[in-house]
Amino acid sequence: MSNPDPSRQNQLETLKQIILDHRLPRADFALFAVACPYCGKADRIRKLEPPGDLDGEIPPEAAGTYGDLWRSLASLETSLGICGFCRNILRLHPQGGRAEGVYE
C-alpha cells in the first residue's frame, strides 16, 4: 500500500474546508442506494454543485479554488459528492449509481 500524496491530501482538505465553510451542497438532497466507501452509509451522500452553479453564491476566491479543485478531481463521467455522515469527499459515477473515494 502506497502513502497518499501530501499535496493531494492538502488539496482535499482545502476543498473539504470550503464545502463546510460555505455549507455546500446548497441542495439538501441525498442520493439513496449509493453507499459511502469510507463509512458504508447509504442514505447520506449528497452531490456537490459544479463550480459554474455557484457563481455569486460564495466569495470569488473560494469559488476559484473550489473550481480548480473540482476540475482536478472530477471527470466528464463523474461528479463530486460528500458523505453527510463522515464528511469525506467522493467521486460519483451516475451511470453505475456508485461512489468511490478520492483519498487513495
The overall average pLDDT reported for the chain is 90
3-state SS of the chain is CCCCCHHHHHHHHHHHHHHHHCCCCCCCCECCCCCCCCCCCCCCEEECCCHHHHCCCCCHHHHHHHHHHHHHHCCCCCEEEEECCCCCEEEEECCCCEEEECCC
Q: Where in the chain are the domains?
A: 6-101
All three cell numbers of 100: 468511490
Is 3 or 45 the better-scoring residue by pLDDT?
Answer: 45
* Range 62-85 average pLDDT: 93
The CA distance from 35 to 44, in Å, is: 8
pLDDT > 80? residue 40: yes
| Per-residue pLDDT, 82 | 95
Task: Label residue 38 by pLDDT band (50, 70, 90).
Answer: very high
- Is the predicted pLDDT of residue 1 greater than 50, yes or no? no
